[in-house]
Amino acid sequence: MTDRQTRIAALKAAAKDRILIFDGSWGAMFQRKGLTEDDFQSDRYSLPGEQKGNNDILCLTRPDIVRELHDAYYEAGADISETNTFSATTIAQDDYKLDVETVRQLNLEGARIGREAANAWTAKTPDKPRFLAGSIGPLNKMLSMSADVNDPGARSVTFDEVYQAYRQQVQALNEGGVDLYLIETITDTLNCKACIKAILDLEAEGMEKLPIWISGTITDRSGRTLSGQTVEAFWNSVRHAKPFAIGLNCALGANLMRPHIAELSRLANTLVAAYPNAGLPNEMGEYDETPGQTSGALNGWAKDGIVNILGGCCGTTPDHIAAIAKSVEGLKPRQPAEPRTRMRLAGLESFEAA
Known binding residues for Zn(2+): 250, 313-314
Q: Which residues are annotated as a binding site?
A: 250, 313-314
DSSP for 59-105? HHH-HHHHHHHHHHHHHHT-SEEE-S-TT-STTGGGGGT--HHHHHH
- Closest by CA position to 173, among listed 161, 181, 185: 181
The angle, 0 to 180 degrees and rounded to 10, between the axes of the packed helices 63-76 and 318-328 is 20
How far from the centroid of its chain's Cα atoms is residue 12's Cα? Answer: 18
Distance CA 354, CA 275 (A): 32
> How many Cα atoms are found within 13 Å in the side-chain-facing hemisphere of 1?
9
Cβ neighbors of 134 (< 8 A, separation 6 or more) are: 82, 83, 85, 107, 111, 170, 173, 174, 176, 178, 180, 181, 182
